[in-house]
Each structure stands twice: as C-alpha cells, then as structure tokens.
Amino acid sequence: MAETSNLKNHNLNQQSSSNPALNSLLKKSKTYLTTNQILLIREAYTFSNESHQGQVRKSGEPYINHPLSVASILAEMKMDAVSIAAAILHDVVEDTAAGKDDIQKRFGSEIAKIVDGVSKIDKNIKFISRNEAQAENFSKMMLAMSNDLRVILVKLADRLHNMRTLDCLSKEKKLRIAKETLEIYVPIALRLGMNKLRLELEEISFRTINPLRYKIIRNAVKNHRGNKTKFLDDIKEKINDRLSDLNIKADLYARQKNPYSIYKKMKKKNLSFNAVFDIYGIRVVASKIDECYRIFGATHNLFKPIPGKFKDYIAIPKSNGYQALHTVLFGPNAIPIEIQIRTKEMDQFAESGIASHWQYKTGGHSSAQAYARDWLQKIMEMKQNTLNSVDLLENIKVDLFPDEIYVFTPKGEIKELPYRSSVIDYAYAIHSDVGNKCTSAKINNIDVPLSTTLSSGQTVEIITTPLGKPNPSWLEFVATVKARTNIKSYLRNMQSEQAADLGLRILDKALYDYGTSYTEIPYHSIRRLLNEYNLKDINDLFVEIGLGNIVPHLAAQNIAIKKSFVKQKYHDWVSKVLGSKKVENIAIKGTEGLVLNYAKCCRPIPGDEVVGLTSSGNGFVVHRLVCNNIKKIKSKKLFIEWSDDVEGEYQTQIRVFSEKQRGVLANVAGVISRLSCNIENVKFDEEQNPYASFVFTLEVKNRKQLADVIKELKKLKNINKVMRTVG
C-alpha cells in the first residue's frame, strides 16, 4: 500500500513540474488535503487543460492558468478538494465543447452542480440587454448557491482573479467589471464575512474607477502613518502593561482602514480626510469571550471613552455573523482611537468568514453557514415575489446594504433592520400581514408617522386595522426588500383588479358605439380575440385594456356582432359587474388611482367635463374637455364622467393677480386654509408693476369647493383677479 502511495506521489510530482501555477496550487493543497484529494485536483487539471487546449487569455497566457489561479485562491482559504476541483473546471462548460454531463460522468454530480452554478446561461439564449443577461445569470447563480454555498465561494475567487488581471482589458470593460464588482460581489463577500477577499476587491475596483482619488487618499494615508506610528506604539504599550497587571494574555495589532473605506466615510458623512479619526486603530485578540469584556473595561479605565461610540457585536452579531467589541477612546493629546476586541476564533472569522468555518467533511453546519443560509432563504422568498430577474437583482443590491440597526418589539425581542429603515420596514419584518394592515405606530410610546426613520435602541409598536392596506407612497421611504416586494405584490394585485373592472367597462362602452354589448358577443369571437393578443383568458384581456395596452375600439371592431349569445359563465360574470344598467359614459370614482392618471397639464377635478386618452402601460390619462392638449390629439378618445360618490382629493391650480402689497400672500393662504384646502405648492410670477401673480397648486374635493375658494379670494383687498389655469 505504501509503495502504491509513493508511486502516485512520484507520478503527481513528475506531471505537475511543467506548470508553475499547478505546482503552486498543489503545494498549498498538500498542507491540509489527503493524497486521494490531491489526485482529484490533478485529474480535474488534466480534464480542464485538455478542454481549454489552444485557448489564451487577453494577456496572451494559456487560459488554464486562470482556473488554476482561482483554485489557488480557494486553497489559501483551505477549502475542500471538491471546491478546488470545481474551480479548476469552472469555465469548461461555458467556454469549451465539454458539457455538464461530461463533468458529471467523470467527477460526479456534486462537482458538476457547482460548475453549472458558476457557469453563465447558454450563449444561444438572446437577451434584450446586458442588464437582463447579468440579472438572469445572477439569478441562476443564487439558485445554485441556495443548494450549495460553495458555488458563491468559487464565483468570488473567480471574480478576484479577474480583478487582479484587469489591466489587459479595454478601459470601458475595466470600468464595467469594476463597477459590477463594487455593486454586487463586494457586498456579497461582506455578507458572507469574507473580509480579506472583500478588501482586495474594493481596493482594485476603487483604483480602477477613481484612480486619481485612490492615489490622493493612498498618499494621504502614507503621510498620516508616519505621524501615527509612535502614537500607536505608545497606546499599545500602555494597554499591554494594563493587561499584564490583570494577568490577561492578548495580541495587539495596529489596524489601517483601506482607501475605499476612507473614501466611503468621507462621502457619506461629508468629512475631510483629517476629520476621519479611525484611519488607524488597534485590534486586541484575546483567548476567551469573558476576557474581551475585561479588556474592554481595562481600556475604558485607561483612556476616556467617547460617548455613543461603543458597539457590542458579541452580544448582537452583525448580519454576516461578525463578532467583536468596538469602542472609540480619547488617546494621548485627546486624539480619538478606535479599539476592536475579539477572540481568536472571531478574528479568524472576521478575515475569512464562511470559508473559515467550512464543515462539509463532517457534515456539520457552523454559525457562519447558518447566517449565510438565513440570507439565502430571504433571497428565495424574494424570488417568489419578484416578477423578473432584473427586479430580483435590484432587490438583492438593496438587501446587501451593510449597515444595520437594532430595534425592540414591545415584548423586548430584538429586530435587526438595514440602516435607514422606516416604521413600515419594521412592520413587514414582524409579518407580511402586519405590514399590509398597519395604519399607525408608536416609538417609545409616542405616536409617529409611518415614514419615520428608525434608530437603534428604539421600542416600536405597530397599530393595525382590518381595513388597513398598503399605499403606493410607502415605496418612497421603505429600505428593506421584504417590505418593497410585499407592497409591490399587493399593489400589483390591486392594480389588476382595478384594471380588469375598468377594462370591462371600457370595452363594453366601445362595443356600445358599434351597436352591441359584451354580453351579446359569442364565445368563439372572444376566443379568437384572445388568441390574436396571445392572452390566456378574458380577465387578461380586461386587464390589458384597463392598463391601456390594448386600444378598446380596435378590440371592439374585431368582435362586434349584434344579437348573439355568449357562454353562460361569461354572461353571468359580466352581468354581475355591469348589472342591467346600459353603459354610455364610463363613470369614475377617483379610487382607480393605479390605472387612472390625472393630467398635470389641466388637472381635472370632480365636476369637470372630462375625457380619457390611452397611455400604454399607465392605463388612461384623464383630461378636462377644455384642455388645449386634447385638441392636438387625433386618436380615439374615451368619454368618461364622474360618479356620484367620488372619493379623495385632487390637485388643481389657480392664478391670483394682486397688487404688490405686504401681507397679500399670507391673506390668500389664510382663506385657502380656512376653506379646508391644502396648498401643495406656490409659485411667484412677477408681472408689470404694480401687479404680481401667484400660481397656487391646491388639493380640493370637487369643483364646488374650488368655486368657493375663488369666490372668497376675490373678496380680498388688493386682489385684482383669480382664475383657474387651463392646460
């Protein structure tokens, strides 16, 4: 047996000597993998080398060196042999004649699935844009990652080596790849706790996108370091002496912020370079958790802490599993210095994240994997509630935002939310139904608006009612993907219901113009129309008409037949919606806000004579009949009227001409407020002396209320004329 093993090792060494990249990989792998695992890596190299034969990179080097370098990055992380073999094979499916089945036959399904997860979608599939292709490939990778976390580790290593070799690419391609890396792969590495890899990706991306800023900050850090070396040494010596007195053994290191982190902080907080106090800090690595807290106490006794700068990530870890105590102290000469305190295990995890806790060999699941899987579960929930991959990618970008806040439920439970989360985000974090039905909230027992931004340490209580429902305006201030996707899903369903109801009424009105009605159309005519527009059922037809995607009179022209019958199920359904009332004009209530839009050129309000125009994808736009823009449009108009039970408030504009006297504007605003109207905006237009004019954008319930406002304004002293604007 020993003789066979020696023979294998001899053959291995003999075969690998010709490729320095392979030699480097095997040298790293042999420090922790078995002989059989090394042979698996060697076999993967043989297959990949044969498949990529003749291929070269942009730099001119053999293509095989790229997958070997990717595998070498994983070997530095001490990843398992399966991951390393998959890394060597990761471009075979995408760039060679070999397929997934070939890899599966030779290396098994485990490696084949990882390779497939990293590979881009088939080149033969055509996408509308690069963004769509990127989103679809990312969605595919996320799905594969949910089954095996090693997919993303291989992809991150692949991206890192591509970033290291950017120089041979065109400027345009370098910028695109660097931007994509900062937007997607850097946050993923951060989410998985892979700090060392993240920092290098950030460094190269920042250097590529903003070379001048990178150079300026790097030089400033270099100059700053010369002044801070003795300062840091003095602090380390003082802390070491204090720990010796307490009989605590710990390692102390000086820590330096990378240029991109400094740039982000300067930009986010609008600081100058000299105002960033944590460019350098000290990291203290202890053996036990209780020692971390003792060291924390010792440093606070040694130097005065800056209030509000202490963070206990040991008791409440970050979303990626990161743990440490952070505090900022006034060092000698009152210079602030950040101290990070953590155990050796926490320090190892902070550098390598999920890669440092890999346990596939034992089948266990580390805390790092648990955090990663929780995040992946959220992504799978996102995917279920998202219509397309482009939206999914945008949602994931939002979810990857690194900062967190921690708030409490009334029962004292901790809820973790992204930075700048609102009350609505918190409501959806509790449960989707709570978010959908919330109507008000309290923070620390004080009533607050739903748009209120939360801060760590607050206790939040949500008040719900059965009639509560999401408002489209919520999308303007929510920060979490869960809130955003739930609100969009609810509004999408509501929009479909509104569009279907409006579409049926519009189609029936169009058919009325042809002397018939929907209930008189035979089923085969309806079916023919559905086939023509490639729609599944009649409800889809109504929705498309209601959204303005299908011109109602063209649809009516295709199916208009007098005095016929329709299948009973359609007859019953239509009769239920339309009743026995004969349709002439379409009546609107004002609650169809998701499928009806009110033109800003003429700002119609209840009581005005109105007309509708088709706007593809946005339903119908309602104009006043006297609107100047209506006269220019020759397309078919939809004649509509206001329902008797109109709801809501509507924006309109009035122009007020007045003499230039002090207090005129205040008097006008006072009258408008007294008549229960909101002023949305005021614009001042200077006229010929001694006159001036003001354009007020108001919210009114109907034409009568507006008439009352105009009547009362005309009574004011120094007011010459009041009139409503017309588009």
Which residues are designated catalytic?
94-95
* Tokens at 518, concatenated: 């929907």
Half-sphere exposure of 294 (CA within 13 A, CB side): 17
Residue 628 near residue 575, CB atoms below 8 Å: no
Q: Which of 182, 544, 154, 144 is nearest to 383 (CA)?
A: 144
| CA–CA gap between residue 710 and residue 215 (Å, rounded) | 63
E strand or H helix at 147: helix 130-147
Q: Mention every residue, 6+ apart, whose C-beta is less than 8 A from residue 668.
A: 656, 658, 694, 696, 713, 716, 719
b/e 39-66 (16+ beta carbons within 10 angstroms → b)? bbbbebbebbbebbeeeeeeeeebbbbb
The gap from C-alpha 727 to its chain's centroid, in whole angstroms, comes to 38
| CA–CA gap between residue 440 and residue 462 (Å, rounded) | 6
Q: Which residue is listed with tokens 């992946």?
A: 376
The gap from C-alpha 716 to its chain's centroid, in whole angstroms, comes to 52
Assign 3-class secondary structure to 156-183: HHHHHHHHHCHHHCCHHHHHHHHHHHHH
Q: Which of 60, 131, 129, 62 is nearest to 91 (CA)?
A: 62
Is the bond preceding 690 in cis, omega lying within 30 degrees of 0?
Answer: yes
Q: Which residue is listed with tokens 């109105």?
A: 610
What are residue 587's phi and psi, to 5 degrees? -90, 130
**What 3-state DSSP class applies to 436?**
helix
**What 3-state DSSP class applies to 611?**
strand
